[in-house]
Structures are given as C-alpha cells and as structure tokens.
Amino acid sequence: MSSIPIALQLYSVRHELAQDLRGTLQAVAEMGYAGVEFAGPPQHDARDLRALLDEFGLACCGWHTPFALVQDDRLAETVAFHQALGNDKVIVPGIPAELRQTRDDWLRLADFFNRLADKLAPHGLRTGYHNHHVEFQPLEGEAPWDTFFSHTDPAVIMQLDNGNALYGGADVVEIIRRYPGRAVTVHLKPYSRAAGADNPVHGFRPLIGEDEIPWEAFFQACESVGGTQWYIVEYESDAYPPLEAVKRCLQALRAMGK
C-alpha cells in the first residue's frame, strides 16, 4: 500500500453535505478516507467543523477557497478561519474569466500568488492553484499552466486535477515530472476521452480504473518526484449516486495498492 493518504474532495458529495453535515462526514470516514478537502465559502463555524473531523478521525488536507476570499480585504478572516480549523492549505480552485484572458494576465496572477504565499507563510499557511481544462489550451504560444507555474515560487502548491487536465489535452504524467516537488496535493478524477468524444461531460462518467488516466505512471511520478502528500478523490458525474461513486473510487484505488 502507498504511504500517501487518500482524502475526498467534498464537492463530490456537496448535496449530501448540505443536507447532513455530520452524517456525510461520518459516512466518508467509514468508507476509509483519511481526510477531506472542503470547497466554497465556509458555511459553518471552523471550531464546529474541527470537532466533527476530530470525532471521525478525518484530517483536513485543504480547502478550495474562492479567489475573492484571498484578497486583502478578506484575507485576515480567511487566515483566522483556517487556523481555527487546523487547515494549512488554502487552494484557489479557479480564476474569474475576465482576469485570465492573456498571457500577461497569467503573469500578473503568478505575481499575486507569490505575494499571497508570502503573506500566508508567517501564519503557517500555504496557497496553491487547482486547474480546470483551460489552463492547458495554448494562449499566445504557451499553456497558461506553464506561464503560471514557471513564474511562481516553489511555495505555491501545484494542485493538478488529472481528469480536468486530460480533458484539456495535457500529459498528466509529464506535468508532474516537469515541476518536481510542486504537486503537494493532487486530484484523482477519472476521465475518458473516448466517452467524452461527443460530449465532454460524459467523459467524467467512468469511475477510477474504468477511465483513461494512466494511473500507474501517474502514481509513480507523484511518489518519486512530485512531492505528493495527499491523493484527493473527486468525482463529479451524476452517473452514480455520489456516496456510492466515491466509495467505489476508493475501493478501486485500494485494489491498485493505494
């Protein structure tokens, strides 16, 4: 078995979480997940969430934090929340479209994240960026992912979502190797180009192990050069009931020795 723990991105079960926070966290823990990653603006008190995580033996391995909440006018409250929760990874899951139209925009974003990392460091926190598919579609001769990560400091976490990246046309193994030590957390999201040939949304329907991610090579890259500390499952399709889907994804990973 891999020594890298497996967490669940709770966006996968967001409706269940909204209806029954405690029961959903308990179910995730009972499946065998070691941790969770939250997403979106906080909906609960940080200390209450921490108490639930402690009760069920779950670690918080990150939070998908909206870009607006890491701006200077909101940063102090964001820092206080995550310190109370016990989360040290403030991951931005996307950038408003109007701020990423040109290569220069991505260079400005790289500078912003470098400064954000410096602001968070004294508080024991890190920031990072999570991709969708547009980051791998060339913009002025270069993929925005490369524009961004070749101009950010190593302190900025490269949270590669392998399913989104494959959908965008990327080589998900080569990316890990290109930026050694940066993939501190990665998203394990199944994707099949064949299934998504007519409609990309359908590409996300297969479960882990039934898709086209080169899992063995991807894990080898993460575990040899990626610096990966957490694998985070995310399943977005409605092809299966959410709790069933994430349980089956974890079982597939266990069968792979993870």
Quick check: 139 and 103 in contact, CB under 8 A? Answer: yes
For residues 52 and 64, give the distance between their C-alpha atoms in angstroms, rounded to a whole number: 19
| Confidence check: pLDDT of 46 > 70 | yes
For residues 107 and 100, give the distance between their C-alpha atoms in angstroms, rounded to a whole number: 9
At residue 74, the pLDDT reads 98
At residue 91, the pLDDT reads 99
- List the end-to-end C-alpha distance of the chain, in Å, as a whole number: 5
Nearest to 257 by CA among 213, 207, 223: 223
At residue 6, the pLDDT reads 98
* Model confidence pLDDT, tens digit, residues 101-154: 999 999 999 999 999 999 999 999 999 999 999 999 999 999 999 999 999 999
Quick check: 70 and 107 in contact, CB under 8 A? Answer: no
The average confidence (pLDDT) of the chain is 97
| Confidence check: pLDDT of 65 > 90 | yes
Is residue 49 one of the residues assigned to a domain?
yes
* Model confidence pLDDT, tens digit, residues 212-257: 999 999 999 999 999 999 999 999 999 999 999 999 999 999 999 9
Which ranges of 185-234 would DSSP assign to H, the alpha helix? 215-221
Is residue 177 one of the residues assigned to a domain?
yes
Is residue 65 one of the residues assigned to a domain?
yes
Helix, strand or coil, per DSSP, at residue 7: strand
At residue 1, the pLDDT reads 55
Is residue 113 one of the residues assigned to a domain?
yes
* Model confidence pLDDT, tens digit, residues 177-195: 999 999 999 999 999 999 9
Is residue 152 one of the residues assigned to a domain?
yes
Contacts of 236 (CB under 8 A, 6+ apart): 11, 12, 189, 204
CA distances from 255 to 68, 209, 248, 258 (A): 40, 10, 11, 7
Pairing of strands 126-130, 157-159: parallel
| 90 burial via Cβ count (<10 Å: 0-12, 13-18, 19+) | buried
Query: Total structural domains in the chain?
Result: 1
Question: What's the rounded mean pLDDT across residues 53-75?
Answer: 98
For residues 93 and 165, give the distance between their C-alpha atoms in angstroms, rounded to a whole number: 13
Is residue 1 one of the residues assigned to a domain?
no
Quick check: 119 and 83 in contact, CB under 8 A? Answer: no
Give, in degrees to the nearest 5, the angle at Cα 186 between 101 and 10.
90
Range of the domain at 230: 6-256
Confidence of residue 21 (pLDDT cuts 50, 70, 90): very high
7: left (phi over 0), alpha (psi -120 to 50) or beta: beta
Helix, strand or coil, per DSSP, at residue 36: strand
Is residue 24 one of the residues assigned to a domain?
yes
For 163, the token pair is 């399913």
For residues 5 and 25, give the distance between their C-alpha atoms in angstroms, rounded to a whole number: 17
Is residue 52 one of the residues assigned to a domain?
yes
Judge if pTM exceeds 0.95: yes
For residues 46 and 73, give the distance between their C-alpha atoms in angstroms, rounded to a whole number: 20
The percent of residues above 90 in pLDDT, for the chain, comes to 99
CATH number of residue 40's parent domain: 3.20.20.150
At residue 48, the pLDDT reads 98
